Amino acid sequence: MDPWSARHLWAGLILAIYALFCAVIFRRHARRNRPVGAGEGILVAYATQTGFAESLARHTVTGLVAAGQAAWAEAIDRLDATRLSGLTRALFIVSTTGEGDAPDHAAGFVRRVMGATTPLSTLQYGLLALGDRDYAQFCAFGHALDGWLRRQGAVPLFDMVEVDNGDAGALRHWQHHLGQIAGHVHLPDWTTPDYQEWVLAERHHLNPGSPGASIFHLRLTPPPQAIVDWQAGDIAEVGPCNPPDMIAAALADGGGDRAETRHGRTRPLAHWLAETILPEGREPLPHREYSIASLPSDGTLDLVVRRMAGPDGRLGLGSGWLTRHAPVGGPVRLRLRRNPGFHPPTDDRRLILVGNGTGIAGLRAHLKVRARAGLGGNWLLFGERTAAHDSLFDDELAAWQASGILTRLDRAFSRDGARPVYVQQLLAAAGDTVMEWVQDGAAIYVCGSLEGMAAGVHAALTDILGQDTLEELAVQRRYRRDVY
Ligand SMILES: Cc1cc2nc3c(=O)[nH]c(=O)nc-3n(C[C@H](O)[C@H](O)[C@H](O)COP(=O)(O)O)c2cc1C
């Protein structure tokens, strides 16, 4: 081949490689920023004034994609009604600026899209509202967007998460929801909670013999000299540990070696490793969240935890640690997180408390507040499996009924009757009374499982009260949920 055609051949080859390289880069960029088509993955739309919401949107996408969930981030101004109505799932991360205003780049979206009506009944969404309580209108744009989406028929996957000045606890709560959305996986914490060492003082099996998984009532005492305070509705974030025998089990697969410890006694290698090289299994395990079931004046922080096990029988990291591996009398790493979205009402209005399973925890704390204040006008509707084994805190509820704190108690036991009855059916059956209590100013608190119960209760309340009234109750903070 003569030199002239060889040179041209090389040039052509280099050009082709370069073109290929550009195409790959272009495709990757286009895929990362391409508008979300109907039904494909999760759109993470952000509205930002100073960049925080955008960085959280990118973090959110990275976390979801790492968990195997397709997701894209886009500025909210790129959305229009057509695109919105083509979505099935979306997350919104929006800040507030000015005096309760939407970030500048979202102004067009507010006027064009939120200024009109768009049927969005196929859309499920989550919303992270960034703000600062020092401003009169805290998270105003987040609330406005949430209200508009609900009025279009969109269904919240969980209640809006408000973030006061970048509060790390609220951001971890958002992550907790992302884990649920991504299929109950646990995403690594964006910021590690500053745990305190509490002591597991007591552990009681609440439902022995139940067809359902075991539920435990745990009492924890605070670190000495620590000043701890919380309100009903607040959350305990627990840092689970890999107990020695779990590591032992993992290592034992590698054979039963023994080693000399500092105290001269010989111990299985696994135990030695677990206690020396990996104290408390100090891998950065993601936190677990639990509703607090007591008040500081009780002297202990109470939790109600169901022991979860995977298809292979291995216990859940959090529930396995708390209900089995953490020794009574031993340390539990715990951090308190404020959850203003589920705090008690500031006045003495009546309360309709609705829940199932371990949701009794959050509701028990609210009943304790009412009992402390001598406030009656409380109605509990609760669902579990069997009356014989799952009448959780039966004595306490009976005492509250006797004292008049609990005006009414309705319980559904799904395994007892010929046909399963759930708490939402109790609500539907008592619709007139629910309407009467709400018209009289009552607030509704829902605590328990997101799947099944929360949606069923929401649908029952929508049938009883109507969508507009229920949305209005949410805006007035008279419809509050802690669902997980
Ligand atoms: C000029 C200015 C005005 C703000 N106005 C409000 C407000 O009215 N309500 C609120 O809750 N937060 C307000 N904030 C707080 C922001 O919403 C908060 O800092 C947020 O994290 C910023 O997120 P971004 O960087 O994505 O815009 C304001 C912040 C600034 C700088």
pLDDT in tens for each of the 484 residues of the chain?
678 788 888 888 888 887 877 777 666 555 555 444 445 589 999 999 888 899 999 989 988 888 888 899 999 999 999 999 999 899 999 999 888 999 988 988 999 999 999 999 889 999 999 998 888 889 999 989 998 998 888 888 888 899 988 888 788 888 888 888 887 666 666 655 578 999 999 999 999 999 999 999 999 999 987 888 999 999 998 988 865 555 555 555 544 444 444 444 444 444 444 444 444 444 566 778 899 999 999 999 999 999 999 888 888 889 999 999 999 999 999 988 888 789 999 999 999 999 999 999 999 999 999 999 999 999 999 999 999 999 999 999 999 999 999 999 999 999 998 999 999 999 999 999 999 999 999 999 999 998 889 989 989 999 999 988 887 887 788 999 888 8
Which mutation among 135, 141, 163 tests ligand 1's pocket best, with the greatest number of atoms within 8 A of CB?
135
User: Of 338, 320, 301, which is closest to residue 198 (Cα–Cα)?
Assistant: 301
- The last residue of one of the domains, among 181, 211, 232, is 181
How far is 468 from 152, CA to CA, in rounded Å?
Answer: 11
Find the CATH number of the domain harbouring 238. Answer: 2.40.30.10
CB distance 319 to ligand 1 below 6 Å: no
- For every residue of 208-224, DSSP letters joined together read TT-SSPPEEEEEEEPPT
- d(CA 333, CA 312) in angstroms, rounded, equals 27
Same domain, 41 and 176: yes
Residue 396 maps to which CATH number? 3.40.50.80
| Residue 75 CB less than 6 A away from ligand 1 | no
Q: CATH no. for residue 177?
A: 3.40.50.360
- CA 51 from centre of chain: 25
Residue 257 sits in the same domain as residue 358:
no
Q: Are 202 and 210 in contact (CB under 8 A)?
A: no
With beta carbons less than 8 A apart as the criterion, state whether 322 and 216 touch.
yes
Is any ligand 1 atom within 6 A of the Cβ of residue 130? yes
Claim to verify: residue 260 and residue 312 sit in the same structural domain: yes
Q: How far apart (Å, rounded) are the C-alpha atoms in residues 84 and 92?
A: 12
- Where a domain ends, among 286, 305, 337? 337
Of 311, 329, 250, which is closest to residue 283 (Cα–Cα)?
250
Specify the residue with its C-alpha closest to ligand 1, atom 7.
100
Q: Separation of 68 CA from ligand 1 center, angstroms?
A: 32
For ligand 1, the distance from its centroid to the CA atom of residue 54, given in whole angstroms, is: 13
Question: Cβ atoms within 10 A of the Cβ of 447, count?
Answer: 29
What does the pLDDT look like over 390-447, one tens digit per residue? 999 999 999 999 999 999 999 999 999 899 999 999 999 999 999 999 999 999 999 9
Task: Quote the ligand 1 centre to 50 CA distance (angstroms).
Answer: 8
Nearest Cα residue to atom 16 of ligand 1: 131
Question: Does ligand 1 lie within 6 Å of residue 58's CB atom?
Answer: no
Considering the domain architecture, whether residues 451 and 469 belong to the same structural domain is answered as yes
Q: Is there a domain that residue 390 lies in?
A: yes
131 lines ligand 1 (CB under 6 A): yes
Q: Same domain, yes or no, for 265 and 140? A: no
Sheet containing 479-483: order of strands: 406-413, 378-384, 351-356, 443-448, 479-483
The length of the chain, given as a count of residues: 484
| Same-domain pairing of 333 and 349 | no
pTM: 0.67
Q: Are residues 73 and 173 in the same domain?
A: yes
**E-strand spans in 299-388?**
301-306, 331-337, 351-356, 378-384
Looking at ligand 1, which atom is closest to the CA of residue 55?
26
What are the Cα distances from residue 472, in Å, to 137, 143, 158, 378?
18, 12, 17, 21
- Kindly state whether residue 423 falls inside one of the protein's structural domains: yes
Domain span at 403: 345-483
Which of 124, 129, 128 is CA-nearest to residue 149?
A: 124
Whether residues 170 and 37 fall in one domain: yes
19 in a domain, yes or no?
A: no
Q: Is 56 in the pocket of ligand 1 (CB under 6 A)?
A: no
- DSSP-assigned letter for residue 323: I
Residues 118 and 47 in one domain: yes
Residue 262 domain-assigned?
yes
Residue 191 inside a domain? The answer is no
Q: Which residues contact 414 (CB under 8 A, 6 or more apart)?
A: 383, 384, 385, 420, 421, 422
Determine, yes or no, domain membership for 11. no
Residues 478 and 363 in one domain: yes
Q: What spacing in Å lies between the alpha carbon of 369 and ligand 1's midpoint?
A: 34
Question: How many A from CA of 102 to the centre of ligand 1?
Answer: 9
Give nearest CA residue, ligand 1 atom 30: 97
How many distinct structural domains can be found in the chain? 3
**Is 135 a pocket residue for ligand 1 (Cβ < 6 Å)?**
yes
Residues 175 and 272 in one domain: no
Q: Using alpha carbons only, how large is the chain's radius of gyration in Å? A: 26
With CA atoms as reference, report the closest residue to 93 among 41, 141, 154. Answer: 141
Ligand 1 pocket check for 246: Cβ under 6 Å: no
* Domain presence at residue 89: yes
Beta carbon of 48 within 6 Å of any ligand 1 atom: yes
Instruction: Note the pLDDT tens digit of each residue in 446-479.
Output: 999 988 899 899 899 999 999 888 878 877 889 9
Q: Is 397 in the pocket of ligand 1 (CB under 6 A)?
A: no
Q: Whose CA is nearest to atom 9 of ligand 1?
A: 138
User: Is the residue at 8 inside a domain?
Assistant: no
Query: Does ligand 1 come within 6 angstroms of the Cβ of 106?
Result: no
For residue 96, the CA-to-ligand 1 centroid distance in Å is 5
Same domain, 349 and 424: yes
Domain endpoint, select from 320, 337, 354:
337
